[in-house]
Amino acid sequence: MIAWTDSAKKIWSEYNDQTKAALEGSGADPQEVLEDLKRHIDEEAATAKLGVLTEDDLWKMLAKFGLPATAGRDAFTHQPPKKSLPPAVANLGKFTAASLFIFSILLPVITILFEWFTGASAECLFDPIPTWFHVIIVALVPISNAWMWTAALRRDSKPRSWLGWLGGFAMGVCIYYSLLYILVLPFAFIGVLYFGLGLIPLTPYLALMASSVLRFKYCQILGTRTLRGYLPGVAVALVCLLSLQLPESLSYYGLSRARSEDKTTRDYGIRVLRFCGNRTVMLRACYGWLEYRDIFQPINWLASGGDDRVISADMAREIYYRVTGDAFNSVPPPKFCTRAGRWTAVDDEYAWDDGLGGDQVAGRVKDSLC
């Protein structure tokens, strides 16, 4: 069954009223005339393989089928309203379709695969997809955009309810990662020239703009202002990603409080780490990973109180012992390598030992870091 846009339904309703008024007293059955015309319109739409019958399509068919012979032509020969969609807007042009495919589908796929196989962002900035949940959530962006892009090309309104939720979810993911990379955005353009590293921070912004245009074009094709479930979909995506980020951010928050000079604040930080702390984050702090790293991650940066230097390695080791009751070097060190191994070549050649020459046992070095 062919779906009609709201504007097309309104035109048809007005046409029905005018037809009944014109045929009154003529001896013809207005209902029979309208049903016959409606059947012809549905057949014509099916022949043209239209997924959605727009206002523009309806006016063309009414002009093609003509008007009942018993009706005065003056009652029906008015022009379509000025707000009707021109054919160029109601369809995706070749250039628009190609551009939307590149920036809303192809680019996110390339970026996900690039980060997965190289771990560039995980090594140089922070890990944007640390778990499989993150991978699945991020993968929904090109998947939902591909579905909407295909539906827009086919002018198919059947998946509109699903695409409302999925399109909103994809938009929420793009918004979240756009906020994550906002601090490194000024350097992203330069980073594109360096092994494509800048591609990762730029992709959320490009995908956000392309997804917005794609949704706008699809709504135009359907003749609606928005898609049902779009805003709830955005909210669901943000809640999911923030929930996944919460344990790590609480660890940053606890570490920043546990290093305070005030005993009450310090004890409070220890309690936070005992109940909510992430041991991997604490271990990385023990190896000096948080002294200057992850300062480009806005959420963790805010959780730590906006301090670039989160915590020193010596203090982190003391805190780790107070939280767990174990020495930090009594357990295997955290993995500093990305999924594809090391990104920076310097770490392949050197193993740093910050406890060399000191009077304390330091962390494990060399091959124990991977």
Please name the residue that has the structure tokens 């062919």.
2
> How many Å apart are CA 118 and CA 167, to the nearest integer?
28
271 φψ region: left (φ > 0), alpha (ψ -120 to 50), beta (else): alpha
Residue 23 has pLDDT above 90, yes or no: no
Query: For 258-278, what is the mean pLDDT?
Result: 87
Q: How far is CA 333 from CA 286, 294, 329, 368, in A?
A: 9, 18, 7, 7
pTM, two decimals, is 0.65
The 3-class SS string of the chain reads CCEECHHHHHHHHHHHHHHHHHHCCCCCCHHHHHHHHHHHHHHHHHHCCCCEECHHHHHHHHHHHCCCCCCCHHHCCCCCCCCCCCCCCCCCCHHHHHHHHHHHHHHHHHHHHHHHHHCHHHHHCCCCCCCHHHHHHHHHHHHHHHHHHHHHHHCCCCCHHHHHHHHHHHHHHHHHHHHHCCCCHHHHHHHCCCCCCCHHHHHHHHHHHHHHHHHHHHHHHHCCCCCCCHHHHHHHHHHHHHHHHHHHHHHHHHHHHHCCCCHHHHHHHHHHHHHHCCHHHHHHHHCCCCCCCCCCCHHHHHHCCCCCCCCCHHHHHHHHHHHHCCCHHHCCCCCCCECCECCCCHHHHCCCCCCCCCCCCCCCCHHHHC
Measured distance CA(77)–CA(74) in Å, rounded: 5
- Please say if the pLDDT value at position 296 is more than 80: no
Listed by start position, the domains of the chain span 3-75, 94-228, 245-346+358-369
Place of tokens 């009942």: 68
Would you say residue 212 has pLDDT above 70?
A: yes
Mean pLDDT value across the chain: 77
What percent of the chain is modeled with pLDDT above 70?
Answer: 74
pLDDT: is 76 or 309 the higher one?
Answer: 309
Query: In the predicted model, is pLDDT for residue 347 greater than 50?
Result: no
Whether 140 has a pLDDT exceeding 50, the answer reads yes
| Cα–Cα dist 344/274, whole Å | 33
- Contact at 8 Å (CB) between 249 and 278? no
Say how far apart CA 332 and CA 368 lie, in whole Å.
8
Q: What pLDDT score does 197 carry? A: 64
Nearby residues of 224 by Cβ (< 8 Å), 6 or more positions away: 5, 6, 160
* Token pair belonging to 4: 């009609």
Q: How far apart are CA 7 and CA 56, in angstroms?
A: 9
CA distance linking residue 85 with residue 237, whole number of Å: 32
**Residues present in the chain in total:** 370
Q: In the predicted model, what is the mean pLDDT of residues 41-62?
A: 78
Six token digits for residue 52:
């959605």
Q: How confident is the model at residue 74 (pLDDT cuts 50, 70, 90)?
A: very low
